[in-house]
């Protein structure tokens, strides 16, 4: 493994890995996730903010493997639910829920809500040698529709329609979603930063 051209993604989420690799592909890095590293420690995401969780994951994995590491923590904030599910987005419907379970619980909770506005938030932390740390955020505003539409993506993608579009994230091709999504916006900034700190 050529150390200086390797990036570790501090996640086991296959959907996230696919999206991140797609955006970072032009950098021609060797990108590994925790799915590729059986000796990676289990990290409890017990922070009270997206920032705290992202920094915790990036710093622990960077220290363990001595590689530049990118971690993100992201979630859905619904205005009518006072920002919920927020940092509990992945656990909103119990441990390791399917996308359908997450969406159906949210739709039931939103059944009588008139205000359907929501936003996806993504905080990216990049930790490198010498405890170098970079924080980047991306936000995508939109609304929660009243049913699931589309078969792409993961999580709440089938019920979230971004502002200015008539399709949910789950109905969009990956290229379009990555151009407008919270994670895509954060990752484009991350790509520029990584190009500077990881030599070619």
Residues involved in catalysis: 73
Give the separation between CA 195 and CA 191, rounded to whole angstroms: 6
Handedness of CA 97, 175, 31, 59 (dihedral sign): negative
- b/e map 171-200, b = 16+ CB within 10 Å: bbebeebbebbbbbbbbeebbeebeeebee
DSSP per-residue letters across 82-121: TTEEGGGGGGTTSSS--HHHHHHHHHHHTTT-S--EEEEE
């Amino acid at each position: 493994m050529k150390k200086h051209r390797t990036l570790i993604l501090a996640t086991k989420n296959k959907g996230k890995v696919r999206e991140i690799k797609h955006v970072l592909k032009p950098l021609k890095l060797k990108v590994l996730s925790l799915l590729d590293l059986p000796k990676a420690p289990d990290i409890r995401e017990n922070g009270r903010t997206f920032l705290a969780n992202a920094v915790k994951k990036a710093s622990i994995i960077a220290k363990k493997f001595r590689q530049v590491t990118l971690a993100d923590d992201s979630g859905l904030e619904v205005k009518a639910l006072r920002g919920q599910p927020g940092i509990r987005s992945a656990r909103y419907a119990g441990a390791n829920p399917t996308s359908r379970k997450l969406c159906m619980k949210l739709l039931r909770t939103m059944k009588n809500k008139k205000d359907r506005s929501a936003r996806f938030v993504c905080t990216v932390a990049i930790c490198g040698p010498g405890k170098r740390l970079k924080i980047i955020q991306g936000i995508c505003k939109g609304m929660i529709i009243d049913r699931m539409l589309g078969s792409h993506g993961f999580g709440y993608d089938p019920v979230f329609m971004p502002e200015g579009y008539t399709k949910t994230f789950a109905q969009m091709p990956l290229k379009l979603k990555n151009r407008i999504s919270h994670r895509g916006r954060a990752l484009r900034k991350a790509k520029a930063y990584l190009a500077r700190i990881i030599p070619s």
